Chain A
Amino acid sequence: MQPTIELSHFDASPRFSKDNSFQFQPSKTSSATLIPVPNVLVPNNEPETSKNVGIVAEGSSPTEQLFGATVLAKIWTSSVSMHLDRKVRDTIFRQIDILHDADEWVCDGEPVQLESYKSAIRTLVYHHINNKPSLALMPSGNVVALWKDGDDKLTVEFLPGNKARWMVQSTSEAGLDRAAGTSPIERLRDVLMPYCANRWFDAG
């Protein structure tokens, strides 16, 4: 006889909520993924108190995908929130929500990609950046941050793996400088030093 396979907590269909005022509309094919919570059995087989109870909606509709992407980003942010200025964090969350507004969403783009988002937040923490940037999304879902100082601009596209693609427009006595490069995020202050990075990164 062939063995049977027991599948526990297999996601059935459909998932729905009673209150339609939620931020997403589940579809009949939606599914939700529990963030993995391995139960560690220790001496006396005492399983630990549950953790990571957040649900990320993975559903098939664009609205569900947008919601799921923002939830992933916000939950990950908690792992470094103790290093992040609260006002900067709140501003970033607000901008992420605006960028993922389902009514304004452009269909051919991707929602925020988590690995790019991580590079962005790590940059803010590592370089102690407390001057809040304006955020945008590339069609790939990579996060783009923009800082302005008068007509001078710094644009940084955050790539997965702690890398950043930057572009500077800076005015000097000799005229307009434009420069671009790709650097590890920990090098950003150094590579931007000729353009006085502190005027963008440091508030006040």
Chain B
Amino acid sequence: MRDDTDDMSYARPPITEAVLELRFDKVPDPKVRKAAAAIRSRYDNSVEDVMAEGSLDFSTRSAKFKDISPRFSLSSSDQTDACAITGVNAVWVRLAPYEGWAPFYGRIESQLPRVLKALGDPKIGRVGLRFINRIDFPMRDGLGYHEDYLTYTVDAGELMEPHNGFKWVIQKSFDSGLAALVQSATAPPELPGHSAILFDIDIYTNVDAPSKSDDILSCLCKMRQLKNEIFEAGITDKARELFNAADN
């Protein structure tokens, strides 16, 4: 079932990266190659990386190398849509500008069955859906008041405020079988006169993770719903004003 509702959409969503990752039991290289070939025509660029692990033994002055699974990376010409497949995972990525859930989900919906079939329908160990948001906000009196934009804050107390940066991580498991890894940190500003914070929401399941396309797609919609709830609970109205501002 596809969830087309985008009632939380903003004029300028702060999403810089949306990621779906499936982790699975090791798949032989020929099947990985076949999976990449199955969707190659959907992308403008394709790269195959031959990977190896190496070890150096200084006592004997020798080196050993062991081939590991190649990695196939596919991307659109503007690099916003990408997919990478290895022998242990498949990742779909959308970089900003994020155009909404529908096109991202639509791409996955059309490619996932082909990839899984080519991989031989491996057992999926983990499904992860991650949205990385970047909030750029104007500084005030030379300081960045991140608490004006995020409700989850770190109160460092009088001694440590103002500080030079923060980072926090929260992990929570829900009764639904989904878990959330939520992170936030100050980020290097990209705009003059602005501060920036990252608000990173990673929803995953590794307990009875679905392995069939339809089940994975259904799971994604539930994950996205949870992500939206965490996101909306984590931002302030001032942040919403930023995301809806008409001028960029």
Contact A4 B58 (CB under 8 A): yes
| B47–A80 CB distance below 8 A | no
In angstroms, Cα B55 to Cα A10, docked, is: 9
Complex Cα distance, B93 from A21, in Å, reads 23
Q: Does A199 contact B (CB under 8 A)?
A: no
Say whether B16 contacts A57, CB under 8 Å. Answer: no
In the complex, B151 has a CB within 8 A of chain A: no
Beta-carbon nearest neighbor of B36 in chain A: A18
Cα of A11 to Cα of B93 in the assembled complex, Å: 23
Q: Which residues of A contact B128 (CB under 8 A)?
A: 48-50
Q: Mark B74-113, 1 if CB is under 8 A from A, else 0.
A: 0101111010100001010101111000000000000000
Closest residue of chain B to A3 (Cβ to Cβ) is B58
Tell me which residues from 1 to 59 in chain A have a Cβ below 8 Å from any Cβ of chain B: 1-19, 22-23, 32, 40, 42-44, 46, 48-55, 57
Contacts of A22 in B (CB 8 A): 45-47
CB of B82 within 8 A of CB of A42, answer no
CB of A79 to closest CB in B, whole Å: 5
Q: How many A residues touch B, CB cutoff 8 Å?
A: 61
Contact B51 A122 (CB under 8 A): no
Given contacts A9-B51, A16-B48, contact A51 B136 (CB under 8 A): no
CB under 8 Å from chain A, chain B span 47-76: 47-59, 65, 67-68, 71, 73, 75
For B177, the chain A residues whose CB sits under 8 A away are none
Q: A15-B49, A71-B79, A89-B97 are in contact. Are A49 and B19 (CB under 8 A)?
A: yes
Q: Are A7 and B56 in contact (CB under 8 A)?
A: yes
For the complex, give the distance between the alpha carbons of A23 and B78 in Å.
Answer: 12
Find chain A residues with CB under 8 A from B30 CB: none
Residue contact A23 to B45, C-beta cutoff 8 Å: yes
Docked-complex contact B97 and A122, CB < 8 angstroms? no
Say yes or no for B157: interface residue by CB 8 A criterion. Answer: no
Once the chains bind, are A125 and B58 in contact (CB under 8 Å)? no
Nearest CB in chain B to that of A55: its residue: B73
Question: Are B132 and A162 within 8 A (Cβ)?
Answer: no
Is A128 interfacial (CB-CB < 8 Å)? yes
Contact of B248 among A7, A18, A84 (CB under 8 A): A84
Q: Are A5 and B19 in contact (CB under 8 A)?
A: no
Question: Across the interface, do A80 and B50 meet the contact criterion of CB distance under 8 Å?
Answer: no
Query: Is A2 touching B57 in the complex (CB atoms < 8 A)?
Result: yes
Interface check B40, CB cutoff 8 A: yes
Contact of B171 among A46, A71, A97, A118 (CB under 8 A): A46
CB pair B191–A122 under 8 Å, yes or no, is yes
Interface residues of A (CB under 8 A from B): 1-19, 22-23, 32, 40, 42-44, 46, 48-55, 57, 71, 74-75, 78-86, 89-90, 93, 97, 118, 122, 125-126, 128, 162, 184-186
CB<8 Å pairs between A and B, sample of 24? A4-B55, A5-B55, A11-B52, A12-B50, A12-B51, A12-B54, A13-B50, A17-B47, A19-B46, A32-B49, A42-B169, A42-B171, A43-B171, A46-B206, A48-B202, A52-B17, A55-B49, A55-B73, A75-B79, A81-B97, A82-B134, A83-B248, A186-B192, A186-B193
Q: Known contacts A78-B79, A80-B191, A83-B12; can you find 9 more A-B pairs with CB under 8 A?
A: A5-B56, A22-B46, A49-B202, A51-B17, A54-B73, A81-B96, A89-B97, A90-B78, A186-B192
